[in-house]
């Protein structure tokens, strides 16, 4: 026992000695180096027991702060408040939360894929041509039921959006209205989507007036950004085409000034021209110009120039802009971009103005930009006017012959018979004739820009004042010279000789080079001779034939170079008229056809040489046969002719017909 007690006491002493040594060594180390203290205490990560009465252990470490907003649950709790969950603090919780989100997205994609498969199956059935109307209606209704609540998502899908378009096409009006109402809050976002744009256009095509007005109202404040977008601009243009005049004006006004973008009530103005709007609202010209320039410039840089609403804005900008601003726009448009603009009425006007006020270099770019599109442009209602103006003012006839006339040669016959294509030849044969060009066409060809017109008026007024000064009055002459110099101070590069509105070359010389030297007139006459019967009976071809035969073009431009060809054409028409009248023939005789009989009558009145040939070859001795129906007007034209030789030629044979009452007693045309 004593030995055991002694051993226990020795053990206690050793422990006390070891503790004292540790304390001393720790005290020594404290003078040299402080021990590292961990901010994280042991068992910090251990969760608090559920029934613990102790206070939670406070850690020095700050809780994790996420940059993202806390996750919001779609469901609400029993109190009606949103059930918001705090962002997970620990890494483990963050990983679990991310996994839950990924799983949710995966399930959503799976459901969407399943829906797309179901819709594709229905689409394959409903778009078949042999399906009955009742079966298609059932399939469309089923598809719309599956898409209900998800239509705005499906509209932007490159696969299922086509199914929705087919459903909108074949569904009933109430179903279409339901789709429209579901898409109404999302129209603006869908307008930027490359796949949804087709659906939006279909919805607008079938929309009621109220729905269209609502859609246009939803675009308010977003017109300029949409026009700068390749897809969005298509939606705005489609709405602009379907809109009424007042709605079109509302879309345009937003592009004129910031006030119309901010204050919706101002859009209801009745004035259509920008100058009238500015005068009514007392808008400052400088602010309007700056705003319009900020709208137009990005659109031109992106090359979005196909739409009529942009063409209208450009024309209004030209009406108030100064010469330097207009010149900058013309320089930008003097390129292949112009080809995409001349398909509209306002776009053709812009094309004409670019040719009119552009210099020689810019005109050359425009003509070269049309290369490859001449044939298509010549058939177009508005595009042909740009070609007509180029033929009228550009002095470089070699370039026109190479770039335009040579490209027209293969389709010369079709152009002669075409309503719009014939204008190119009629302009060269008889320029600016109101018989062939409508008042609107002539107004477009004579359109001008006010800032350039004011320059021309100032020059004209200076010349008028100079002419009123007497030659001997040296002091007055000096004053006028000073005044003219003052007027010339503000001139820009537009005053360069190359920028003349019409070329320096004499119009007659230009026409002669384009018709005679290029060989166009000769080819035109060959086509007229080969197709004389078809031409003289046609509604549009007869006018080209008349201009060639009657006078050889205005000012006799085809004489004397092509006299032989013109005489051959006279013979061809007379031979056609000399054919016997046959009831079995499917084609009307030229004396009885509505178009040809009136054309021949005009030729008799205006061309004595043709009248003589026709009488000798077709009517001499047979006038009584043609003194009835439409042909009687042809026979009577010989007595109405202003040429005495023509009257004398037919008087002996026709006077008995007049006396017997077969022909009306018509007085000669004075």
Q: What is the pLDDT of residue 119?
A: 81
Q: Token pair 């812009």 is at which residue?
A: 350
Q: What is the pLDDT of residue 397?
A: 94
Q: Which residues pair with 76 in a beta bridge?
A: 82
Q: If you write DSSP's letter for every residue of 88-123 in order, what string do you get?
A: P-SHHHHHHHHHHHHHHHHHHHHHHHHHHHHHHHHH
Tokens coding 540:
């549009």
Most confident residue range from 198-212, 457-471, 582-596: 198-212
Whether pLDDT at 492 is above 70: no
Share of the chain above pLDDT 90, in %: 52
3-state SS of 578-596 is CCCCCCCCCCCCCCCCHHH
Q: What is the pLDDT of residue 548?
A: 92
**Residue-wise pLDDT tens digits, 311-341:** 999 999 999 999 999 999 999 999 889 999 9
Distance CA 427, CA 419 (A): 13
Domain boundaries defined on the chain: 542-660
Q: What is the DSSP letter of 72?
A: E
Q: What is the pLDDT of residue 664?
A: 75
Q: What is the pLDDT of residue 470?
A: 40
The three-point CA angle 222-225-228 to 5° equals 145
Mean pLDDT of the chain: 81
Tokens coding 325:
């601003």
Distance CA 16, CA 323 (A): 106
Q: What is the pLDDT of residue 88?
A: 56
Q: What is the pLDDT of residue 4?
A: 54
How far are the Cα atoms of 34, 250, 568, 573 from residue 298, in angstroms, in the given order?
A: 67, 21, 58, 58
Q: Is 84 helix (H, G, I), strand (E, B) or coil?
A: strand
Q: Token pair 């021949």 is at which residue?
A: 600
Q: Token pair 């109430």 is at which residue?
A: 174
Share of the chain above pLDDT 70, in %: 75
Average pLDDT value for residue range 622-646: 89
Q: Is 90 left (phi over 0), alpha (psi -120 to 50) or beta?
A: beta
Distance CA 154, CA 112 (A): 9
Average pLDDT value for residue range 531-559: 92
Q: What is the pLDDT of residue 670?
A: 43
| Dihedral angle computed from the Cα positions of residues 440, 445, 446 and 449, in that order, rounded to the nearest 10 degrees | 110
**Residue-wise pLDDT tens digits, 243-252:** 999 899 889 9
Q: Is the dihedral of CA 611, 613, 614, 616 positive or negative?
A: positive
The residue among 403 and 40 whose pLDDT is bigger is 403
Distance of CA 603 to the CA centre of its chain: 43
Distance CA 6, CA 113 (A): 86
Q: What is the pLDDT of residue 103?
A: 64
- Reported as a pLDDT band with limits 50, 70 and 90, residue 106 is low
**Residue-wise pLDDT tens digits, 194-215:** 999 999 999 999 999 999 999 9
Q: Which residues pair with 82 in a beta bridge?
A: 76
Q: What is the pLDDT of residue 601?
A: 94
pTM of the model: 0.76
How far are the Cα atoms of 108, 183, 197, 558 from residue 211, in angstroms, in the given order?
A: 32, 12, 17, 60
Whether pLDDT at 232 is above 80: yes
Average pLDDT value for residue range 91-101: 77
Q: Is 76 helix (H, G, I), strand (E, B) or coil?
A: strand
Tokens coding 309:
């609403």
| Dihedral angle computed from the Cα positions of residues 335, 340, 345 and 347, in that order, rounded to the nearest 10 degrees | -40
Whether pLDDT at 599 is above 90: yes
Whether pLDDT at 653 is above 80: yes
**Residue-wise pLDDT tens digits, 13-65:** 555 544 544 444 444 444 444 444 444 444 444 444 444 444 444 445 444 44
Whether pLDDT at 658 is above 80: yes
**Residue-wise pLDDT tens digits, 142-194:** 989 988 888 888 888 887 888 899 999 989 999 999 999 999 999 999 999 99
Q: Is 149 left (phi over 0), alpha (psi -120 to 50) or beta?
A: left
**Residue-wise pLDDT tens digits, 60-87:** 544 444 444 444 444 444 444 444 555 5
Distance CA 500, CA 585 (A): 56
């Amino acid at each position: 026992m004593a030995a055991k007690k002694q051993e226990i006491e020795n053990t206690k002493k050793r422990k006390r000695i070891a503790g004292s040594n540790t304390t001393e060594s720790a005290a020594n180390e404290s003078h040299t180096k402080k021990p590292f203290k961990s901010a994280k205490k042991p068992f910090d990560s251990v969760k608090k027991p559920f029934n613990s009465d102790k206070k939670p252990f406070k850690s020095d470490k700050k809780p994790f702060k996420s940059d993202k907003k806390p996750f919001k649950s779609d469901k609400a709790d029993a109190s009606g408040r949103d059930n918001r969950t705090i962002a997970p603090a620990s890494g483990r919780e963050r990983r679990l939360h991310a996994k839950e989100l990924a799983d949710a997205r995966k399930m959503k994609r799976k459901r969407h894929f399943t829906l797309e498969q179901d819709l594709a199956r229905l689409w394959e059935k409903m778009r078949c041509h042999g399906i009955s109307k009742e079966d298609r209606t059932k399939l469309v209704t089923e598809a719309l039921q599956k898409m209900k609540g998800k239509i705005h998502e499906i509209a932007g899908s490159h696969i299922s959006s086509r199914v929705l378009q087919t459903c909108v096409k074949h569904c009933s009006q109430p179903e279409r209205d339901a789709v429209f109402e579901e898409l109404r809050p999302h129209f603006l976002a869908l307008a930027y989507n490359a796949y949804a744009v087709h659906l939006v256009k279909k919805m607008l095509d079938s929309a009621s007036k109220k729905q269209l007005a609502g859609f246009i109202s939803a675009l308010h404040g977003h017109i300029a950004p949409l026009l700068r977008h390749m897809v969005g601009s298509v939606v705005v243009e489609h709405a602009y085409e379907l809109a009424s005049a007042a709605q079109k004006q509302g879309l345009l006004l937003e592009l004129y000034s910031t006030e119309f973008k901010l204050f919706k009530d101002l859009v209801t103005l009745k004035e259509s021209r920008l100058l009238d709007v500015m005068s009514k609202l007392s808008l400052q010209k400088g602010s309007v110009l700056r705003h319009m320039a900020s709208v137009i410039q990005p659109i031109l840089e992106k090359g979005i120039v196909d739409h009529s609403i942009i063409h209208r804005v450009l024309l209004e900008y030209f009406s108030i802009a100064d010469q330097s601003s207009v010149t900058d726009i013309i320089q930008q448009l003097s390129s292949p971009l112009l080809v995409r603009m001349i398909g509209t009425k306002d776009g053709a006007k812009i094309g004409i103005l670019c040719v009119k006020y552009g210099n020689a270099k810019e005109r050359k770019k425009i003509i070269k930009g049309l290369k490859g599109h001449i044939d298509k442009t010549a058939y177009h209602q508005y595009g042909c006017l740009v070609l007509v103006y180029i033929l009228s003012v550009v002095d470089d006839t070699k370039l026109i012959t190479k770039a335009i006339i040579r490209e027209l040669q293969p389709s010369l016959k079709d152009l002669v018979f075409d309503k719009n294509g014939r204008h190119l030849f009629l302009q060269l044969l008889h320029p600016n004739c109101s018989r062939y060009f409508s008042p609107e066409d002539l107004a477009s060809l004579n359109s001008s820009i006010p800032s350039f017109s004011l320059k021309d008026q100032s020059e004209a007024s200076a010349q008028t004042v100079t002419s009123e000064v007497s030659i001997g009055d040296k002091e007055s002459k000096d004053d006028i010279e000073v005044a003219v110099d003052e007027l010339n101070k503000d001139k820009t590069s537009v005053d360069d000789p190359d920028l003349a509105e019409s070329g320096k070359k004499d119009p007659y010389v230009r026409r002669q080079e384009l018709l005679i030297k290029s060989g166009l007139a000769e080819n035109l006459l060959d086509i007229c001779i080969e197709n004389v019967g078809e031409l003289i009976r046609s509604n549009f071809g007869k006018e080209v034939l008349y201009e060639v035969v009657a006078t050889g073009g205005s000012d006799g431009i085809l004489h004397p170079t092509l006299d032989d060809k013109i005489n051959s054409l006279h013979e061809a028409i007379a031979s056609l008229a000399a054919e016997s009248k046959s009831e079995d023939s499917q084609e009307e005789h030229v004396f009885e056809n509505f178009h040809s009989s009136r054309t021949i009558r005009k030729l008799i009145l205006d061309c004595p040489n043709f009248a003589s040939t026709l009488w000798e070859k077709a009517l001499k001795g047979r006038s009584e046969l043609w003194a009835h129906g439409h042909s009687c007007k042809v026979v009577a034209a010989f007595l109405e002719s202003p040429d005495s030789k023509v009257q004398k030629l037919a008087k002996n044979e026709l006077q008995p017909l007049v006396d017997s009452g077969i022909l009306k007693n018509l007085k000669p045309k004075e």
